[in-house]
């Protein structure tokens, strides 16, 4: 099976990426590594980059200093390498080991279209993902979820098979919703899977465990991070609410929270994002 591993860097040198350092010690044949520098600065090829070039079948380096939407990056990789069988996505600070890839191959079967890892918060060592029917799944692995189960997880560690890509193509639908840029990109993928499940028997398997730092467990308030979450919330309310009533109630609650917290500038952000229907970096 031919593999693509895609690693998205942000504000990091090659040697500063935990993911890339770990990839140097894994074994996976027939693998093309794609490294994407998503800004904000150019980076120089260092010794780690050349070691990775020697290790993998081939390495491609892409650079988007404008900080391109993650959804656009993921969709571009999948479209440009459509002859590959398996797409493995990582951000730049994922703690991966060879066991992850061993589990991926050992537990795979032809019915599985998507493999996802159990995600443990690297600070508190608590399981946070995946969610199965709105509850954290913490039972034994490997496990293949029922077709009707509603699954949500994060983007890093996703293993997407060509069979799933073909289902999306038949529906003329991109895997990742390009109206999002950062937060919401991974959730949109699972929401779209939920939509096309009506036509296709999509099997999702949890197969391994990854430790990852999660923004939602960070207790310190970040204005930038909060604004990014508001973009996500406004877009999700408009396009993924269960009904018009849910959409209105959701936006009203969000407006009230910002007013109570005296973050009045965010009211304009919410309004414009809802009206335009996309993140500013998405178009």
Clarify whether residues 32 and 121 are in a common domain. yes
Clarify whether residues 120 and 171 are in a common domain. yes
* Six-digit token string for 265: 């500038």
Note down the domain range covering 195: 3-217
Clarify whether residues 61 and 184 are in a common domain. yes
95-133: pLDDT as tens digits: 999 999 999 999 999 999 999 999 998 788 899 999 999
Clarify whether residues 19 and 148 are in a common domain. yes
46-88: pLDDT as tens digits: 999 999 999 999 999 999 999 999 999 999 999 999 999 999 9
216-253: pLDDT as tens digits: 556 667 899 999 999 999 999 999 999 999 999 999 99
Label residue 67 exposed, middle or buried (CB < 10 Å: 0-12, 13-18, 19+): middle
Please say which residue of 192, 217, 242 terminates a domain.
Answer: 217
* Dist CA 190 CA 197 (whole Å): 10
Clarify whether residues 268 and 186 are in a common domain. no
Collapsing DSSP states into helix, strand and coil, what is residue 253? helix
Please say which residue of 191, 217, 243 terminates a domain.
Answer: 217
Q: Which pTM does this prediction carry?
A: 0.93
Clarify whether residues 137 and 232 are in a common domain. no
Clarify whether residues 204 and 237 are in a common domain. no
Determine the angle formed by the axes of helices 185-196 and 223-240, rounding to 10 degrees. 20
Clarify whether residues 175 and 267 are in a common domain. no
Clarify whether residues 192 and 227 are in a common domain. no
* Six-digit token string for 89: 């996505």
* Dist CA 177 CA 193 (whole Å): 11
* Dist CA 28 CA 105 (whole Å): 9
Clarify whether residues 158 and 262 are in a common domain. no
Clarify whether residues 67 and 102 are in a common domain. yes
* Dist CA 122 CA 269 (whole Å): 32
Collapsing DSSP states into helix, strand and coil, what is residue 131? strand
Q: Confirm if 31 and 86 have CB atoms less than 8 A apart.
A: no
Number of domains into which the chain is organized: 2
Q: Confirm if 214 and 110 have CB atoms less than 8 A apart.
A: no
Please say which residue of 168, 197, 217 terminates a domain.
Answer: 217
Clarify whether residues 161 and 251 are in a common domain. no
Domain of residue 159, CATH code: 3.90.550.10
* C-alpha to C-alpha distances, 171 to 54, 112, 140, 149, 198, nearest whole angstrom: 39, 19, 33, 21, 11
Mean pLDDT estimate for the chain? 94
* Dist CA 111 CA 258 (whole Å): 46
Q: Confirm if 196 and 168 have CB atoms less than 8 A apart.
A: yes
Q: Confirm if 90 and 22 have CB atoms less than 8 A apart.
A: no
Position 214 scores a pLDDT of 77
Closest CA to 159 of 121, 103, 212: 103
250-281: pLDDT as tens digits: 999 999 999 999 999 999 999 999 999 999 99
């Amino acid at each position: 099976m031919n593999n693509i591993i895609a690693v998205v860097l942000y504000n990091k040198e090659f040697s500063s990426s935990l993911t890339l350092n770990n990839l140097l010690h894994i074994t996976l044949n027939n693998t093309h590594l794609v490294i994407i520098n998503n800004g904000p600065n150019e980076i120089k090829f260092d010794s780690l980059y050349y070691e990775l070039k020697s290790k993998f079948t081939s390495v491609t380096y892409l650079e988007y200093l404008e900080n391109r939407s993650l959804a656009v990056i993921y969709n571009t990789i999948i479209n440009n390498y459509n002859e590959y069988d398996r797409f493995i996505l990582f951000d730049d600070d994922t703690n991966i080991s060879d066991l992850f890839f061993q589990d991926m191959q050992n537990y795979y079967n032809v019915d599985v279209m998507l493999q996802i890892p159990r995600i443990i918060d690297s600070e508190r060592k608590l399981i946070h993902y995946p969610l199965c029917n709105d509850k954290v799944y913490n039972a034994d692995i490997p496990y293949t979820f029922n077709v009707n189960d509603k699954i949500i997880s994060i983007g890093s560690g996703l293993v997407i098979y060509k069979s799933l890509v073909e289902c999306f193509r038949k529906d003329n639908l991109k895997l990742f919703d390009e109206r999002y840029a950062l937060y919401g990109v991974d959730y949109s993928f699972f929401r779209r899977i939920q939509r096309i499940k009506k036509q296709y028997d999509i099997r999702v398997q949890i197969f391994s465990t990854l430790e990852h730092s999660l923004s939602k467990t960070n207790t310190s308030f970040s204005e930038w991070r909060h604004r990014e979450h508001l973009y996500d919330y406004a877009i999700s309310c408009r396009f993924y609410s269960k009904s018009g009533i849910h959409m209105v109630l959701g936006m009203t609650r969000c407006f009230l929270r910002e007013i109570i917290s005296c973050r009045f500038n965010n009211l304009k952000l919410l309004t414009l994002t809802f009206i335009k229907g996309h993140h500013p970096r998405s178009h």
